[in-house]
Amino acid sequence: MKDYNRFLEISLGSAFELETQLLIAEAVNFGDKEKRNELLKDIDEEQKMIMSFMSKLKL
């Protein structure tokens, strides 16, 4: 179970890294604004799901 939780932590970290890259792209006005916003929304939802799952595993 400890290893599984570590993999979830890694996936959460990767989601935050991707969010950061998209925010940088937004800051330099790179790419399609609508697509960036859609991706940021999806990433936020994924982060919430991972965090919720991790908290339920610790019960």
What's the pLDDT score for residue 2?
87
Report the C-alpha dihedral over residues 18, 19, 25, 31, rounded to 10 degrees: 80
Whether 56 contacts 4, CB under 8 Å: no
pLDDT digits (tens, 9 = 90+) for 6-53: 999 999 999 999 999 999 999 999 999 999 999 999 999 999 999 999
Task: Specify the residue for token string 């998209």.
Answer: 22
Angle between helices 33-57 and 2-27 (to 10 degrees): 160
pTM of the model: 0.88
Coil, strand or helix: which one is 31? coil
